[in-house]
Amino acid sequence: MYTNYLSWLLLAPILLSLAAFSARWAGKLAMRVAEVLHFITILVVLILGLLVIQGVLVEGSVVALNDWLHVDALAAVFLLIVCVVGFLVGIYSIGYIRNDVRTGELQADQVSTYYGLFDLFLFTMVLVVTANNIIMMWVAIEATTLGSTFLVGIYGHRSSLEAAWKYVIICTVGVAFALYGTVLVYSDAVNFLQRPEAAVLWTEIVKNARALDPTLLKLAFVFILIGFGTKAGIFPMHAWLPDAHSEAPSPVSALLSGVLLNCALLVIIRFAIILEQGIGPEFPQMIFLIFGSLSVVAAALFIFVQRDIKRLLAYSSVENIGLIVLAFGIGGPAGILAALLHTINHSLVKALMFCTSGNILVKYHTRDLSKIKGMLQVAPFTSFVLLVGTLALIGSPPFNIFISKFSIFSAGFFSGFPLLMVVLLLFLAIVFAAFMKMASSAVFGSLPENITKGDVRISMLAPIAVLVILVLALGLYLPPQISMLLNQAALISIHGNAAADASISLLNFSNSELPIAFLQFAQLFGR
Amino acid sequence: MFGFNLINTLSGLLIITSLIVIETRSLRRSAYYYAVQSIVLVLIFLTLAVTTGQKQLFLWAASALVTKAILTPYILLRGEDRVASAAPPPQAVRPALAIVLAAISVVVSFVVINQLDLKIANEYKPALAVSVAHFFFGQLCILTQRNILKQILGFCLMENGSHLTLALLAYSAPELVEIGIATDAIFGVLIMTILAVQIYRKLDTLDAASLTSLKG
């Protein structure tokens, strides 16, 4: 039964996106037809995605198509992000794109193309997180670039075409490196896995990782990190990211930052697991620590000088992806749990912030922070969510990121990296200051002339309100289903599969090796 | 033995055709030379299929013939038709320097590949080194050319390099894998070409150096 859900999770969006493309021939109704098809797509992806995740909770994992698709707890965490954030941002898209059509930013006949591409992009990301065939993982990542290039450049301005060009060139060149890493792993695995069909499967390679050649593995991992790291926005391969994130329509920015970066990260983690099973965790952890810290430091410096709200948010994504990578580098149950939790939390908050920046863009017609002032008088609800989002993003309680950032740093302190943590906290202080300055000057301050009063339409506020609720809720309470997924995902990261000792839970971790912080969190969660 | 030698020789031919693709000033002629190179690649796949007895490599050869020797050059030529009036941007790096860089990437690839122990491909080490070098050629083309359509050709060269690596190291992989990679490649060329034409219509230039409004 769950196998069917998984097959349909991939089939449905691709068929529906093709239908959305062809809505352009529906004459005057084209826009409405495309909207309806788009709504059905995101709803179907949400429902089927949640059903598959339920399957993982019940049965441990869900497979389909001769094991080519495989959703374990680790994939389920990312699938949850794809389908929930994809759905909310998809809803926000409808109001946002209608507004673009009203103001003449987009032509009505471009709308079906937009939704076709949006849903295709969503499909490619579902494919990334559900793929079990390592070469198909690469194909899927490459497809995410191709699917989203025209979304980035859809406005057709000089700057958006430039951003789209940089995006497609940098990412295809970068991701091509990862193909070498992937092929190296496969060609080595095929030597001892008798059936070539098995040597492409991640699950089979992990089981036999000890037989892989250590030198080849390390070389392959460097290629993988450069390649997929480009897509994940890890410094110094992040060059495309601020341009693409700032020039794309805001819902697309939310999808790029909140979902796509994580998908690329998942594939890197998959290969890191192969390495950890094959040659031990030291090498991938060292690489993660280096690149994670560099990303945080570099992003903090860029954030400090930003005058463009969407570029500010884009660099904040580099910073947060850096933190997640860092947490994987810290390793151990504490580091990995913190990393996974931060992945979910950052995704929600960043989707919230990019959608909010979309509302600001609608009111002020600019991304220039020196011109965005006095929002409280114009758009009170948008001001409120901007404040909430900013506080959440910089890690203030009671919002979700507070817990995951705190967990990352306490894991770091207790796992032997206190000095590094202190240095990084100093850089986070810069980020903190920059974001507080941004939010206070945007919300308060004197209102520029020619801004009509009144908040944006309800269709662009409702999805943001849901995100606000989620951000707050996950800061106060972690549902047992999610904590079970996180536990199992952490076990997969450590042992290569969740079956080893599935009885271990968050609370048990805290008894043995988890820092005190997590013990408090465990009590806070009521488990 | 003859098969291995033929493969290694043909891969040498790949290097020469790439240099011609990169150094040819006329975009139309570069596209034709690219088609020629893709035929060399198809011949390598066929030789590999005969020497290794792996039947699916015939399929690879057929799909490379269709996508790389016919469709890709066709898309590029159609794109070039639409920008026919464009003045060619200057070259960012002098041809002599580009050839030196290419030579360096060949040497480095040979040295690195020689140190690896790739059990299933030890007979093809020269060909493998060429494929890796070819991949770097493509990157070199993207970095040194200011003409965005020429950068697309760089992407195509890169693809030919990685496709050869794939054929040498992963010929036994299920066919669907190869189909996926070939599909990505063809859509990549299509999307980049459409985007390049859009850029030309908006900016009235094909010069990548004029794409510098976004910074910091």
**pLDDT of B65 higher than 50:** yes
Tell me what percent of chain B is helix, strand and coil, each rounded to the nearest 5: 80, 0, 20
Three-state SS across A240-268?
Answer: HHHHHHHHCCHHHHHHHHHHHHHHHHHHH
pLDDT in the model for residue B5: 81
The predicted structure's pLDDT at residue B121: 63
A116: number of Cβ within 10 Å: 25
Average pLDDT (B93-114) is 80
Contact yes or no for A219 and B187 at CB 8 A: no
What count of CB pairs under 8 Å joins A to B?
Answer: 131
Give tens-digit pLDDT for B158-212. 999 988 988 888 888 888 888 888 888 999 999 999 999 999 998 888 888 888 8
Q: Scanning the structure block, which residue is given the tokens 């570029």?
A: A311
Tell if the CB–CB gap between A173 and B184 is shorter than 8 Å: no
Please give, rounded to a whole number of angstroms, the shortest distance from the CA of B104 to a CA of chain A. Answer: 19
Which member of B120, B174, B194 has the closest CB to residue A197?
B174
Closest partner residue to B198 among A161, A176, A180, by Cβ?
A: A161
Q: Would you say A354 and A274 are in contact if contact means Cβ atoms under 8 Å apart?
A: no
- B180 Cα to chain A: minimum distance (Å): 6
Q: Is A308 helix (H, G, I), strand (E, B) or coil?
A: strand
For residues A127 and A122, what is the distance between their CA atoms, to the nearest angstrom?
Answer: 9
Partner residue opposite B116 with nearest CB, options A150, A163, A216: A216
CB atoms within 10 A of CB A98: 17
The DSSP H or E segment spanning B110 is helix B95-115
Q: Which residue has the tokens 């020196």?
A: A370
Q: Is the pLDDT of residue B124 over 50?
A: yes
The answer to whether the CB atoms of B117 and A213 lie below 8 A apart is yes
* A169:B117 CB<8 A: no
Give exposure, B50-83, as e/b (b: 16+ Cβ within 10 Å).
ebbebeebeebbebbbebbbebbbebbeebbeeb
Q: Which residues in chain A are contacts of B188 at CB distance < 8 A? A: 142, 146, 168, 172
Query: The pTM is what?
Result: 0.93
ipTM over 0.90: yes
Interface of B with A in 15-74 (CB under 8 A): none
Q: Share the mean pLDDT of chain B.
A: 85
Going residue by residue through chain A, which has 527 residues, state the pLDDT in tens, using 9 for 90 and above. Answer: 899 999 999 999 999 999 999 988 888 888 999 999 999 999 999 999 999 999 999 988 899 888 899 999 999 999 999 999 999 999 999 999 999 999 999 988 899 999 999 999 999 999 999 999 999 999 999 999 999 999 999 999 999 999 999 999 999 999 999 998 999 899 889 888 878 788 899 999 999 999 999 988 999 999 999 999 999 999 999 999 999 999 999 999 999 999 999 999 999 999 999 999 999 999 999 999 999 999 999 999 999 999 999 999 999 999 999 999 999 999 888 899 999 999 999 999 999 999 999 999 998 988 988 888 888 888 899 999 999 999 999 998 889 999 999 999 999 988 889 999 999 999 999 999 999 999 999 998 888 877 788 888 888 999 999 999 999 999 888 888 898 899 899 999 988 876 655 444 443 443 333 344 454 454 444 33
With beta carbons less than 8 A apart as the criterion, state whether A485 and A336 touch: no
- Hey, what long-range contacts does B75-78 have (CB within 8 A, 24 or more apart)? B75/B186, B75/B189, B75/B190, B75/B193, B76/B27, B76/B31, B76/B34, B76/B149, B76/B152, B76/B153, B76/B156, B76/B189, B76/B193, B77/B28, B77/B31, B78/B193
- Which residue of B118, B211, B213 is in closest CB contact with A187? B118
**Dihedral (C-alpha) B37, B41, B47, B48: value to the nearest 10 degrees?**
160
Tokens read off for B104: 């360096």
Interface test with A, best of B155, B195, B207, B213 (most A CBs within 10 A): B195
10 Å CB burial of residue A244 (0-12, 13-18, 19+) is: buried
The DSSP code for B68 is: I
Candidates B132, B170, B188; nearest CB to A146 = B188
- Top pLDDT among B23 and A92 is at A92
Q: Answer whether B216 touches A (CB < 8 Å).
A: yes
The yes-or-no verdict on residue B72 having pLDDT over 80 is yes
Q: Return the pLDDT at A74.
A: 95
Q: Read off the pLDDT of residues B5-21 as tens digits, 9 standing for 90 and up.
A: 888 888 888 888 988 88
Nearest neighbour of A183 by CB, restricted to B166, B187, B199: B166
Residue A128 tokens, joined: 């990334």
Inter-chain residue contact B214 with A186, CB threshold 8 Å: no
How far does Cα B46 stand from its chain's mean position? 18
Quick one: which H or E segment has residue A69? Answer: strand A69-71
Yes or no, beta carbons of A219 and B116 under 8 Å apart? yes
Separation in Å, CA of B150 to nearest CA in chain A? 12
Q: Confirm if B181 and B163 have CB atoms less than 8 A apart.
A: yes
Tell me the C-alpha to C-alpha distance, in Å, between residue B132 and each of B62, B113, B162: 22, 9, 7
CB atoms within 10 A of CB A262: 26
The helix (H) or strand (E) run that includes residue B180 is helix B175-203
The two tokens of residue B39 are 């035929």
